[in-house]
Amino acid sequence: MIELKKISKSFSGKCILKDISLTAKQGETIAVIGPSGSGKSTLLRCINFMEVPDAGTVSIGGTILNLTNASELRKKIGMVFQHFHLFPHFNVLNNITYAPTQVLGLNKDEAEKRAYQLLDQVGLTEKANSYPNALSGGQKQRVAIARTLAMNPEAILFDEPTSALDPEMVKEVLAVIRNLAHTGITLLIVTHEMNFAKELADRILFMDAGNIIEDATPDKFFTEPQSKRAQRFLEKVL
Amino acid sequence: MTMMHNLFESNSSAWYIIQGAWVTLQYAGASTLLGFILGIILSLFKLSHLRPLEYLARAYTSIFRGTPLLLQLSFIYFAIPALIGYEITAFEAGIAAFSLNSGAYISEIIRAGIQAIDKGQFEAAQSLGLSYLQMMRDIILPQSLKNILPALVNEMVNLLKESAIISTIGGADLMRRAQLVAADEYTYFGPLIIAGICYYTLVLILSSCAKLVENKLNTATA
C-alpha cells in the first residue's frame, strides 16, 4: 500500500535519511523506534510529503507522489502530530467535521453524525462543543485522532503521539490507538513507548543515523536484536 | 462667552461641518475595506514562493510606503487624468489613493500575522488534504486576523485622520468643511474645534467597537 524506494533527505547539508526503502502492507501496524535524531519523524513526514524527499520515490496504492498530487493523496493518509495541532478557532465538533465537509463534500448532517460516532469511540462525546484550549493534552490528542479518522483514511501516520503528554494521559491515547490496530487501517507509529510497540505492532523498524537497521517482528526484535546498536538501545530503554 | 455665543448663532454651519463626518467615514471605511482586500492579495503574493509575484508585491509596498500620500493623491487626481483624458471625481481619487496606499501597509500587517501562526496549523491543514485556498481562508487567515486586529484598527484610525488631505483636492470632508466655514465666518477657532471633536469621536467609537470585537473573539475560543 505504501512503498518507499531509496528515499534520501538532508537538511542544510546534514543527511537525515539515507537511501531508505520500505513497504507497508494494507492493514499492517508498524512501530518505528530508535534514538532521537535517527530520522524517524522525517521518514514519517516523507510519506505524505510534509517533507519532500531529495531523492527516491514514495508511492501510495501504486500512485507515485509528486507535488501536484500530494494534496489529493493526503486525503487517504491521516497524520497525528506530537503537538496535536487542533484548529483553535473551531470547537471540537467543527475540528472533526471541517475536512469531511470541505474536502470530501459530505453534507453537514452526515459529517456531524459521523463526528459523534468518532467522539463516542474516543470517549469525548460531552466535549463536542468545547474549544481545544479547554481540553487536556490527552483529550486534544484523542480529538486529533477523531479528526483524522473522519476522513476515513487508509493509513494513519502517528508522529510521537504521546511524547508531549503528561504521564497519566498517555494511557488514554494509547488505548484509542490500540483499538485502531488490525481494523484494516495501516498504522505507522513513531514512538518511545516500547511496551506499546511490543504489544501492538506487527513489525518493528529500528532506525539509527538515517538508516533502518532492523526490520523484524516484535518478538524477534525485543528478544534477540541482531545489531549492536539495537542491543545497546534496548539495554538503555527497557 | 462670546465664542460660545457665536457657535450657537452659527448653528447651521456647525451642523454643516458635522455632516462632513459622514463623508470622512465613507473615505475611511471604503478605503480600509478595499485596502484590506488588496492587502490580503499582496501578502499572499509575498509568501507565495513564486519569485515574480514576490518581487511585484515587494516593489509595490516599497513604492507606496516610500512616497507621500499627498503625492499619490495628486498623481491620481491631476496627473493620470491629464495623461489619459479621463475626468475623475475627488471622491474616486480619494478612495483610489487611500486604498492603494493602505493596501501596502495592511499587506505587511497581514504577512506578519500569517507568519506568526504555528507551522503545525499549516501541516494539520495540509495533512487533511485541504487546498491552499481552503487552508488560508478557513484555517490560517481567521487565526491571523484575531492577532492583527489591533494593528488593523490602528491602520483604519490613521486612514481616518489622514483622509483630511482629501480637502486639498476639494472633497467635502470634515476638514474641508471646517476650512470653508472658517473662511466664510472669519474665525478658525470654532470650526476647527468642531471638526477636531468629530475626528476624535469617530476614532473613539472605532476603537471601542474594535475592543468589543476583540473581546468577543477572545471569549469565543477561551
Q: How far is CA A228 from the centre of its chain?
A: 27
**What number does CATH give the domain B2-221?**
1.10.3720.10
β-pairing, A211-216 vs A203-208, is antiparallel
Number of continuous H segments (helices) and E segments (strands) in chain A: 9, 10
Quickly list DSSP for A48-116. TTSS--SEEEEEETTEEP-TTTHHHHGGGEEEE-TT----TTS-HHHHHHHHHHHTS---HHHHHHHHH
The predicted pLDDT at position B171 comes to 84
The predicted pLDDT at position B118 comes to 96
pLDDT-based confidence at B215, cuts 50/70/90? confident
Segments making up each domain of chain B, as ranges: 2-221
Question: Is some CB atom of chain B closer than 8 A to the CB atom of A81?
Answer: yes
Question: Is some CB atom of chain B closer than 8 A to the CB atom of A226?
Answer: no
Number of continuous H segments (helices) and E segments (strands) in chain B: 11, 0
C-alpha to C-alpha distance for A21 and A89, rounded to whole angstroms: 39
Angle at CA of residue B64, ends B59 and B66, nearest 5°:
90
State the average pLDDT over residues A208-230: 93
Q: Average pLDDT of chain A?
A: 94
State the average pLDDT over residues A121-146: 96
Q: Which three cell numbers stand for residue A196?
A: 506499546
Using CB atoms, which residue from A74, A133, A147 is nearest to B222?
A: A133
pLDDT at A177 over 60: yes
The predicted pLDDT at position B84 comes to 87
Q: Do B221 and A86 make contact, defined as CB atoms within 8 angstroms?
A: no
Quickly list DSSP for A223-238. HS-SSHHHHHHHHHH-
Give this prediction's pTM: 0.88
Of A184, A129, A178, A131, nearest to A155 (Cα)? A184
Q: What is the ipTM of this complex?
A: 0.93
Q: Do B124 and A85 make contact, defined as CB atoms within 8 angstroms?
A: yes
The predicted pLDDT at position B170 comes to 85
Q: Do A131 and B222 make contact, defined as CB atoms within 8 angstroms?
A: yes
B 161-200 → A contacts, CB under 8 A? none
Task: Give the other-Cβ count within 10 Å of A226's Cβ.
Answer: 13
Query: Distance of CA A181 to CAs A27, A77, B20, Å?
Result: 8, 15, 70
The residues, ordered by sequence, that sit 6+ positions from A220 with a Cβ below 8 Å of its Cβ are: none
Give the number of beta-carbon pairs within 8 Å between A and B.
Answer: 67
C-alpha to C-alpha distance for A117 and B165, rounded to whole angstroms: 61
